[in-house]
């Protein structure tokens, strides 16, 4: 039997509402985080609108902070942001998914300013942002936002993803974007791919490092980042649409001899019912595979493709 001094709900209830309220007021006088939590709970009694106002104010305050936070002081900040996430999902999302979506998006976007002045080497904050991101797609579907607005939001966020806070966003937004939205998004990234990156005059180029290959210029690194961003976005859109040919188009021809790349292509071809083409894609990388190395996906996909073609005996041989 638990002691009457054990901190549990039953024992605390014996203190009565008045005494508990007094104790809480004493606690919040010295604990700002508990004070904010209680304000959210009080706001929830008046409906989701009051909670939304409290959350919006707190997110704005966090975004304006600039003081550096060491790794050993990150946990309180993470708990604060997590409390805002829970308030959004528990008190706002059930009755006002559109407002909840807007607030959750703002919360995830906090990663850019917050991670720039925090030492999150243990990934504490990253976990909070990832948890928020994981439900963004379902919340967007419930909010039923206009497709064009959602396309613009996804495009801007994918382009502004310096800390990886929106990693996998296209995949998460597959359902709310729908086929039309995904194709519209693809057109925006295709237009971005056609943009010509202007190189500044040699005398104005900024050196940011040195390596065995020579000087690293800022404009060159930015051009490479731009190319990687566009290619990954188009790959994600191709997968979301189930467009295997669009996926293959994003794999440079000189990389298709890599067994890992070949396996990725073949797996998608196989899923599309194009087993013979999957085998051909794998064969293009067989020479490198035979030189050694660990290529488990190549072997796995080849066995599956041979089996799909009815060559079970060959599949057993690898």
- Which residue carries 């019912």 as its tokens? 273
Q: Output the DSSP codes for 224-268.
A: HHHHHHHHHHHHHHHHHHT-HHHHHHTS-GGGTTSHHHHHHHHHH
Distance CA 284, CA 287 (A): 7
The mean of the pLDDT values for the chain is 86
**pLDDT at site 310:** 85
Q: Which residues neighbour 285 within 8 Å (Cβ) at sequence distance 6 or greater?
A: 256, 257, 258, 259, 261, 262, 263, 298
Q: Helix and strand tally (H, E) in the chain?
A: 19, 2
Residue 13 has pLDDT above 80, yes or no: no
- Which residue carries 């613009």 as its tokens? 152
C-beta atoms surrounding 106 within 10 Å: 16
Q: Which residues neighbour 113 within 8 Å (Cβ) at sequence distance 6 or greater?
A: 63, 65
Distance CA 25, CA 38 (A): 10
Distance CA 1, CA 217 (A): 70
* Each residue's pLDDT tens digit, 128-187: 999 999 999 999 999 999 999 999 999 999 998 888 899 999 999 999 999 999 999 999
Q: Smallest Cα–Cα separation from 94: which of 51, 57, 124?
A: 51
Tell me the pTM. Answer: 0.79
Lowest average pLDDT, out of 16-25, 79-88, 161-170, 187-196, goes to 16-25
Which band of pLDDT confidence, cut at 50, 70 and 90, is reported for residue 41? low
Q: Smallest Cα–Cα separation from 84: which of 70, 103, 65, 99?
A: 103
* Each residue's pLDDT tens digit, 97-140: 999 999 999 999 999 999 988 889 889 999 999 999 999 999 99
The answer to whether 169 and 185 are in contact (CB under 8 A) is no
């Amino acid at each position: 039997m638990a002691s009457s001094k054990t901190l549990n709900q039953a024992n605390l209830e014996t203190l009565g509402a008045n005494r508990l309220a007094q104790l809480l007021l004493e606690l919040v006088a010295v604990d700002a985080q508990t004070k904010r939590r209680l304000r959210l709970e009080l706001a929830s009694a008046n409906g989701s609108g009051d909670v939304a106002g409290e959350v919006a104010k707190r997110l704005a305050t966090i975004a304006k902070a600039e003081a550096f936070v060491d790794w050993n002081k990150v946990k309180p900040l993470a708990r604060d942001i997590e409390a805002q996430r829970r308030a959004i999902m528990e008190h706002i999302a059930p009755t006002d998914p559109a407002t909840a979506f807007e607030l959750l998006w703002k919360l995830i976007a906090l990663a850019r300013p917050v991670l720039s002045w925090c030492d999150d080497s243990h990934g504490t904050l990253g976990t909070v942002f990832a948890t928020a991101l994981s439900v963004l797609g379902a919340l967007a579907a419930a909010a039923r936002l206009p497709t064009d607005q959602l396309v613009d939001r996804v495009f801007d966020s994918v382009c502004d993803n310096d800390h990886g806070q929106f990693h996998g966003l296209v995949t998460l937004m597959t359902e709310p974007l729908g086929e039309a939205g995904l194709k519209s998004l693809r057109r925006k990234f295709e237009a971005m791919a056609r943009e010509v990156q202007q190189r500044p005059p040699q005398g104005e180029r900024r050196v940011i490092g040195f390596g065995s290959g020579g000087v690293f210029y800022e404009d060159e690194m930015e051009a490479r980042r731009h190319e990687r961003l566009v290619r990954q976005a188009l790959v994600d859109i191709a997968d979301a649409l189930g467009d295997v040919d669009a996926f293959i188009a994003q794999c440079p021809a000189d990389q298709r001899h890599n067994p890992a790349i070949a396996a990725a292509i073949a797996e998608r071809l196989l899923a599309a019912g194009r087993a013979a083409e999957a085998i051909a894609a794998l064969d293009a990388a067989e020479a490198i595979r035979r030189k050694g190395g660990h290529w488990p996906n190549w072997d796995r996909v080849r066995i599956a493709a041979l089996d799909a073609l009815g060559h079970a005996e060959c599949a057993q041989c690898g």
